[in-house]
Structure 1
């Protein structure tokens, strides 16, 4: 799926206004962008990654005075789309809205990953931090974490938890819950959060540890019940919902994050320019409020800070994957 996100003002209008007040910056003098920029989202439409990609894309188009195309290329826990960006030209016209999975987890899950998350990409900026939330169908008898644990222990393997796909952070949140709560449930993978939520609402699965932004509309509508959040602290978006840790699984703490990358061959000057634009987007009150309403928190940083964070997260999740013994072909 793709969608054109266009500036509300024409390029000529923006350049004219800029010329009146200041000298054009280097990126404008070089003619960038002279054609549409593609932000590739390696997951299906409707999930958190897609929501964030379209939000950033819309504002980036406005700031650059050009066109941004958001394309969804799902598959293999985000690996298919990520590999496409890794192999793209380093001209700044192909960017990736990736995740904790694509850059800090997948390399430990797949025996043959079609890209190197560190060597093949230039980190631009962290975009947002997102709690996950344990949700059940609104008609479910499970109202607390203790209810879920009791039901799972009463009938090992019968209860099911949906995810956005094998090896995704949503899946690993469930796997870590099984380990720490000492229960056995059956994992049901889908091709993205949207179809997983659809089946959860329809009663085909028991629960899901979903990203809060994609689950929030269904929580607000009453279709889903929020049982607990996965982070160490409660979410400002759902302050009345307890954490899994305070609900009886001591030490449980997991969250998802999302960021922007370019192919490794993109010039550092352009990476810096894109970082500056994204940072300006993420400090806007309107954008921060939109993210807050979705349950996400804006988290702009520098390319160097983002690179260090990716490595730290990779170290953490490599241990989780090994402990959970999750391996994908």
Structure 2
């Protein structure tokens, strides 16, 4: 049976070799922090907070949970490993950060076996596949059939690359012989937010994170990943009993400290956390939240390889026994399943091509990147890995791109912000757009929609303008962030109306859609490619489209010109860029891999179904467009103030 088993939170050889250090009787003398490698709302965060609150009641000092999401948990684990070994910084290690990352992430900034001292396991977590109701599927068999009929057409959200959710999804894909488009987020919280809003239709998550939404009827449980059904969801079948006999996977969370932390402190934390986890009320709370408490008693020495004692006898079964052997088994399993599932990802130089997206998951830039990166991997034999880095008006992501070697190993997506930022940020822009950035090719364009929440009163552009005129504090109109294509459209709308309109910027189209669907703002401009599913599902009401002609996808929606505002005509575009100085031969290969395939019939049909218009221009043509549009939009923005 292929089971993603627990990975050892191992005590290090340094601890074995060092003399025992007694903890001071007054420890802790100041607050103790526990670093959680994911944002709030993820399973590791939920369960850590339960016992952290109890520790704060037991100890004379508070225990503070510090969330550090992103980077598959690697930055958080690095911070935990590099902290002073004094007991005041602990880390919530997980099956992903300690069990999976060492197998799949190159240049990991910590050693999972040498940099940490094991304190205790905390919880074992069943995972499951959940779906948005609009997907129209309720069983794993239906999903497998649909994925086989249209390989790569179904998006599946994970809590991030190399997490247990991601690995469980890869194992599901491999065992069923299907292909899904993996969409990685910075934790299960943001991924679940996009699932709830319908931006993605499918997700692998822990029962702990998904259970409240299942109970509220907002998502549909498809199948659990464990060999047995989860006690919290006894009516939900396992993957093994439906589509993949022998399948099994689960996650876990534990607690560790930097290597070299005094053994007496580790013993105290182990005893106190273990006592908390053995309380019937806490165990019942864990089950209610979707996990099973699994405390481990601390021994005076690290667990030996293979779970044997020093005299060679098999150790008694416990959460600590055999964890080093478990780690090796996990690496073999995960490495093998990933290679089998995606043989085209073997990179001669051992490095993937990074595709940096300057927004969070779910927006138009992310959609374009993932669709074309997936096709690029299929036809080129290279691995194209999408990395989302939102915020900062796309500047941090662009800086990261520019700082990369000009060898073709790092490219990025760009939209209208590329030509707006030279004016919007002026002297504050830390790079020269025309000098430091190389153009790879314009991929697609797409018009924006003026959308309304279903409870908003206006149904036409003129009614929106009347509402803005009557609104004393200024009517809020949202967009995808400073410099985003929809920001341009919103500025044009503000200028054309001459009314007190307040522009509300988000950190990308995904978060903006979530704000519109939840009713945080009533109106907003969103690219049709990002909003089509919400419009077709009745979650948002289209008022007008910013295009020269009506869309074939939404023929009943009038154009902005028909609505009386012809000056609102900004067209969103999305292309690929790279650091300046990439050799021409490499540029040609990259263009052929990730830009040109937009013209292929199957890929073009997929993009057009989302509302995009195919361009697939060459590097020179795209570079000329960038040079042309920088002064063009400077004039518009100057008038807007």
TM over 0.5: yes
Q: Where do residues 298-309 of structure 1 align in structure 2 (5 Å cutoff)?
A: 298-303=293-298, 304=303, 306-308=319-321
State the distance in 2 between where 1:291 and 1:309 align.
25
SS state at 1:85 partner = helix
Q: Give the TM-score taking structure 1 as reference length.
A: 0.88
Q: Match for residue 199 of structure 1?
A: 194
Equivalences for 1:250-261 in 2 at 5 Å?
Answer: 250-261=245-256
Q: For 2:165 and 2:329, how far apart are their aligned partners in 1? A: 15
Alignment of 1:115-154 (within 5 A): 115-154=110-149
With normalisation by structure 2, the TM-score equals: 0.46
Provide the rounded CA distance (Å) in 1 between the counterparts of 2:329 and 2:218.
34
Root mean square deviation, CA, Å: 1.7
Q: How does 1:94-173 map to 2 (within 5 A)?
A: 94-173=89-168
Q: Describe the superposition over 1:149-170 as per-residue Cα deviations: whole angstroms up to 9, x where unpaired.
A: 0110110110111001111110
Unaligned runs of 5+ in 2: 1-21, 304-317, 346-350, 353-641
Q: Which of 277, 282, 288 in structure 2 is aligned with 1:287?
A: 282
User: What are the superposed Cα offsets for residues 275-297 of structure 1, whole Å, 9 maximum, x if unpaired?
Assistant: 10011000111211111011100
Separation in 2 of the partners of 1:306 and 1:36? 28
Once the two structures are superposed, what CA deviation does each residue of 1:42-85 show, in whole Å capped at 9, x if it has no partner?
11111111111111110111122321111011222111111111
Q: Give, in whole Å, the separation in 1 of the partners of 2:230 and 2:270.
A: 27
Contact 2:134 2:201 in 1 (8 A): no
Residue deviations 1:102-153 (CA, integer Å, cap 9, x gap): 1111111121111111111100000000000110013331110100101101
- Distance in 1, Cα, partners of 2:232 & 2:322: 24
Task: Find the partner of 1:89 among 81, 84, 94.
Answer: 84
Q: Is the 8 A contact 1:282 1:300 kept in 2?
A: yes
For 1:146 and 1:263, locate their aligned partners in 2 and report how far apart those are by CA, in whole Å: 45
Distance in 1 of aligned mates of 2:41 and 2:322: 26
1:249-290 alpha-carbon deviations (Å, 9 max, x no partner): 111100000000011111112111111001100011121111
Shift of 1:319: 2.2
> Separation in 1 of the partners of 2:61 and 2:323?
30
Q: How far off its partner does 1:313 sit?
A: 3.5
Instruction: Verify: 1:233 aligned to 2:246, yes or no.
Output: no
Matched ranges for 1:268-287 at <5 A: 268-287=263-282
Bigger radius of gyration: 2
Q: Deviation of residue 191 (structure 1)?
A: 0.6
Q: Which residue of 2 aligns with 1:321?
A: 334
User: How many matched pairs?
Assistant: 303
From the superposition, tell whether residues 43 and 120 of structure 1 become closer, same or farther in structure 2 (CA, over 3 Å): same
2:257 aligned residue: 262
Matched, 1:178 2:161: no
- State how far apart, in whole Å, the 1-side matches of 2:105 and 2:68 are: 18
The 1:310–1:204 alpha-carbon spacing in structure 2 relative to 1, beyond 3 Å, is farther
d(CA) in 1 for partners of 2:280, 2:178: 43
Higher RCO, 1 or 2 (CA under 8 Å, sep at least 6)? 1
Query: Would you say the 8 A contact 1:163–1:170 is kept in 2?
Result: yes
